[in-house]
Amino acid sequence: MTHGISVSTRARWVAGAALVACVAAATPATAATTPAVSCTSAKAGLADKLKRDITSALANRKGTIAVGLYDRSTKTTCTLRSSTAYDSASVVKVTVLATLLWDAKKHDRYLTDRETTLAKAMITKSDNAATSTLWKQLGLTKIKGFLTAAGMTQTKPGADGYWGLTQITVTDEQKLLKLITASNTVLSDNSRTYIRKLMGQVISSQRWGTPYGAPSGVLVHVKNGWLQRSTHGWRVHSVGTFKGGGHDYMITVLTHGNSTMNYGITTIQGVAKVIHKDLAAS
């Protein structure tokens, strides 16, 4: 980082050929600081294969891309930029639903008919108005309470009702996906089943992203997010859980700096495809 700053500072008073040399000299250092995909696995050879294939899938993709994979069956974990913060867009809707269920459980009550209608619209159709209603009903105190209970310490709720600007990371999204896929003290089994049920009913036009390339017979639960802003272009994200074929895994891919929404989708699907393929073959 300091190297980059010193280069730009010198650039103000170094001219012509000297500047070109200066920039050229900085290139290797810049490349060296690009984060690498990191994988570990209890299954021999799987970590190396995933690291190689995910790296290859991202080789020519522009934008800032963060990846998380965890497979319970082979104790496999892969990460890239696991703590980099992104505007959540609609991916935060899973957190909103989890908070609603967590709070209802604390008060020993079922969701009301109104709440179930809003929750279904929020997850299956990514309905923004339904999300705003639930976000306002819950309030930041309850949302922060759930994040604390879930250990999602890197997630910062959006201010002034802007839930789509909640700051999320791969680390915290993977924590949430783990919570909705195995018994724990934060979410009841009924709550977890309900979240997965809605994520399994997402409308077909919104089922892109992490499910791409999942083998037939594997249960798929997904929630995607997309948002364009003046800085960092399109944010395009996908979180998914997958069970079957001897595996129980979850994938998070967060991206920004995409020129179009479709560009981001293609990037995510390139990663997802190799992950599903490598796990299916293991």
For 19-59, write each residue's pLDDT tens digit: 333 344 444 444 447 899 999 999 999 999 999 999 999 99
Query: What is the full DSSP assignment across the chain?
Result: -HHHHHHHHHHTT--HHHHHHHHHHHHHHHHHHS---EEE-SSTTHHHHHHHHHHHHHTT--SEEEEEEEETTTTEEEEESTT--EE-GGGGHHHHHHHHHHHHHHTT-PPPHHHHHHHHHHHHS--HHHHHHHHHHHHHHHHHHHHHHHT-TT-BPPSTT-GGG-EE-HHHHHHHHHHTTS--SSS-HHHHHHHHHHHTS--GGG--STTTTPPTT-EEEEEEEEEE-SSSBEEEEEEEEEEETTEEEEEEEEEEEESSHHHHHHHHHHHHHHHHHHHHT-
Non-local (6+) Cβ contacts of 274 within 8 A are: 50, 53, 54, 56, 57, 213
* Residue ranges of the chain with per-residue pLDDT less than 50: 1-32
Compute CA 95 distance to the chain's CA centroid, rounded to the nearest angstrom: 12
CA–CA gap between residue 65 and residue 58 (Å, rounded): 8
Find the angle CA(267)-CA(272)-CA(276) to the nearest 5 degrees: 160
Q: What pLDDT sits at residue 271?
A: 98
Q: What's the whole-model pTM score?
A: 0.88
Tokens at 191, concatenated: 């709550």
Q: What pLDDT sits at residue 246?
A: 96
Side chain identity at 33, as an amino acid letter? T
Q: Which of 234, 232, 230, 214 is nearest to 222 (CA)?
A: 214
Non-local (6+) Cβ contacts of 48 within 8 A are: 39
End-to-end CA distance of the chain: 39
Q: Which residue has 């020519």 as its token pair?
A: 60
Q: What pLDDT sits at residue 94?
A: 98
Q: How many CA atoms lie within 13 A of 223 on its CB side?
A: 28
